[in-house]
């Protein structure tokens, strides 16, 4: 690994064996270990991942917590608007993420977050329109998709510390559930702020979102010299001559430029020779080059499909739990025919669910599930869905103790989430790990999207069974 200094501004450029370039104009040195994430995992990066996880998901949870204020008779529509754009982002991510920098994605997400809060606030008060409110919710979904897929990929590029980064991010997303519901409960219910004013105050989250990434994580993101891919630096050693030529071509400076000099160091580790031998072997044997940017559309699609052992559990567990939240839990209340009672159960069931999610998503460094356990948990979640649906009709166990089961639902969902991504980080080869982590995130969004459609009909059937009006779709049974 080495650093070159050039030009009047003495800009520093770091080259690694993946032909990666990082230009630092801040005046800070790069050769002190600052740009080696796997060797510099102090608290700021972990804390930043935790906070970014929380801020990525909090807007989503705020809008879910306020779903009944947006559309009382069809809360599932809010869930759908809050997941379909995210799903589209994650489905398409494998084919364009490598061409757009992490910074561009995150900062665009911050803008989308702010636009979402402002538009939902405006169309819920000044000009009442459920349709435009749902469009505002969709903007939030775009932000969530960009943020989650990008930050999961970034976390996976921290070598042996990837598990810590992914657990920190997962824990933050779990905490977002508690923060989002608490935000709505404190400001909207306890302090009696209007729904629109509560949302407008949420613009502070978008500022924090952009600032934390810029301050603590942007320095780990670098651009490949070819201009075809944007990834995270792994601090690996580089070939001096090849990197010098690539740098000269990229910056349009001659190799004899007297303003250019090597000011860094070269580290030779066992992985250096391994990497070079692999590249030489690939060239001689005609094997595929280990570079995601060079894969064809078909190759990328096949690579995504090869992740099915991790994606199926994610899809199934999210499909079951979001069918509960968007459909079944909206029809439970004590008594059932009291709208305020149903709203109250919806809020508190969400609280306990999110608490379970937070605790289980924070357990990645303590407990790591086997593949068998990873597959068992989604089927337990399906059993929870069947239990709650039958109970909402028969009322055989119908009191506030049901929130304990809601907590258990959260434990299962969070457990599959964090363990799924940790297993990807541990088992997928390094060269495609970043790609795999961002691509696999489509599974949970797809599960949520399917669940929200199912939830529309579950809510309708349960409303019909309990003599409640207001559903926008008809129960098919």
Q: Answer whether residue 71 shows pLDDT above 50.
A: yes
Stretch (H or E) spanning 12: strand 11-16
What is the tens place of the pLDDT at every residue in 399-410? Answer: 999 999 999 999
User: Which pair of tokens denotes residue 205?
Assistant: 């989250």
What is the tens place of the pLDDT at every residue in 31-64? Answer: 233 333 444 444 448 999 999 999 999 999 999 8
What average pLDDT does this structure show over 257-261? 39
* Nearest partner of 143 among 114, 180, 112, 100, judged by Cα: 112
User: Which pair of tokens denotes residue 13?
Assistant: 């450029």
What average pLDDT does this structure show over 282-291? 50
- DSSP character string of 145-212: HHHHHHHHHHHTTSGGGHHHHHHHHHHHHHHHHHHHHHHHIIIIIIS---HHHHHHHTHHHHHHHHHH
Distance from C-alpha of 86 to C-alpha of 88, rounded to nearest angstrom: 5
What is the tens place of the pLDDT at every residue in 448-460? Answer: 889 988 988 998 9
Confidence of residue 185 (pLDDT cuts 50, 70, 90): confident
pLDDT number for residue 74:
65
Distance from C-alpha of 318 to C-alpha of 415, rounded to nearest angstrom: 11
Rounded (5°) CA angle 41-42-43: 120
| Torsional class of 269: left (φ above 0), alpha (ψ -120 to 50), beta (otherwise) | beta
Confidence of residue 72 (pLDDT cuts 50, 70, 90): low
Distance from C-alpha of 384 to C-alpha of 324, rounded to nearest angstrom: 8
pLDDT number for residue 316:
97
Q: Answer whether residue 181 shows pLDDT above 90.
A: no
Q: Answer whether residue 273 shows pLDDT above 50.
A: no
Of 29 and 355, the one with more pLDDT = 355
What is the tens place of the pLDDT at every residue in 192-242? Answer: 899 999 999 999 999 999 999 999 998 877 543 333 444 444 333 333 344
User: Which pair of tokens denotes residue 260?
Assistant: 């250019």
Confidence of residue 66 (pLDDT cuts 50, 70, 90): confident
Confidence of residue 434 (pLDDT cuts 50, 70, 90): confident
**The dihedral of CA 61, 63, 69, 73: what is its sign?**
negative
| Coil vs helix vs strand at 223 | strand
Averaged confidence pLDDT in the chain: 79
Distance from C-alpha of 76 to C-alpha of 90, rounded to nearest angstrom: 21
Among 219-223, 286-290, 379-383, the least confident range: 286-290
What phi, psi does 220 have (nearest 5°)?
A: -90, -5
Of 165 and 278, the one with more pLDDT = 165
Task: Give percent above pLDDT 90 in the chain.
Answer: 45
Q: Determine contact, residues 447/317, Cβ cutoff 8 Å.
A: yes
pLDDT number for residue 209:
97
């Amino acid at each position: 690994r080495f650093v070159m200094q050039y030009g009047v501004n003495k800009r520093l450029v770091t080259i690694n064996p993946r032909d990666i370039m990082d230009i630092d104009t801040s005046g800070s040195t790069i050769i002190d270990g600052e740009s080696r994430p796997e060797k510099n995992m102090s608290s700021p990066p972990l804390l930043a991942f935790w906070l970014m996880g929380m801020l990525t998901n909090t807007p989503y949870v705020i809008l879910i917590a306020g779903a009944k204020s947006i559309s009382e008779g069809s809360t599932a529509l809010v869930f759908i608007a809050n997941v379909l754009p995210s799903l589209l982002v994650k489905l398409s991510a494998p084919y364009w993420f490598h061409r757009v920098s992490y910074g561009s994605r995150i900062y665009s997400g911050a803008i989308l977050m702010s636009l979402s809060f402002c538009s939902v606030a405006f169309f819920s008060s000044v000009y009442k329109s459920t349709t435009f409110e749902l469009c505002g919710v969709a903007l939030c979904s775009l932000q969530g998709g960009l943020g989650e897929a990008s930050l999961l990929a970034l976390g996976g590029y921290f070598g042996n510390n990837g598990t810590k980064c992914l657990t920190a991010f997962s824990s933050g997303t779990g905490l977002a559930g508690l923060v989002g519901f608490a935000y709505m409960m404190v400001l909207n219910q306890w302090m009696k702020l209007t729904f629109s004013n509560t949302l407008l105050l949420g613009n502070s989250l978008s500022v924090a979102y952009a600032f934390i990434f810029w301050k603590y994580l942007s320095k780990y993101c670098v651009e490949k010299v070819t201009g075809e891919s944007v990834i995270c630096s792994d601090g690996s050693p580089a070939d001096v001559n090849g990197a010098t030529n690539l740098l000269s071509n990229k910056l349009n400076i001659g190799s004899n430029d007297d303003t250019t000099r090597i000011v860094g160091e070269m580290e030779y580790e066992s992985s250096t020779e391994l990497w070079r031998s692999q590249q030489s072997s690939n060239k001689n044997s005609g094997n595929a080059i280990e570079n995601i940017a060079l894969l064809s559309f078909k190759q990328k699609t096949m690579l995504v499909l090869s992740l099915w052992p991790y994606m199926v559990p994610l899809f199934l567990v999210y499909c079951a739990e979001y069918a509960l939240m968007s459909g079944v839990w909206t029809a439970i209340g004590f008594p059932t025919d009291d709208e305020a009672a149903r709203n109250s159960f919806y809020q508190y069931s969400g609280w306990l669910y999110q608490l379970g999610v937070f605790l289980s998503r924070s357990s990645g460094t303590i407990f790591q599930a086997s593949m068998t356990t990873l597959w068992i948990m989604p089927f337990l979640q399906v059993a929870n869905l069947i239990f709650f649906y039958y109970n909402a009709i028969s009322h055989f166990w119908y009191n506030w103790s049901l929130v304990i089961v809601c907590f258990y639902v959260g434990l299962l969902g969070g457990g599959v989430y964090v363990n799924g991504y940790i297993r990807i980080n541990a088992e997928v080869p390094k060269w495609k790990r970043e790609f795999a982590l961002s691509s696999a995130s489509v599974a949970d969004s797809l599960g949520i999207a399917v669940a929200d459609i199912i939830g529309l009909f579950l809510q309708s059937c349960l409303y019909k069974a309990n003599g409640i009006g207001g559903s926008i779709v008809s129960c098919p049974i």
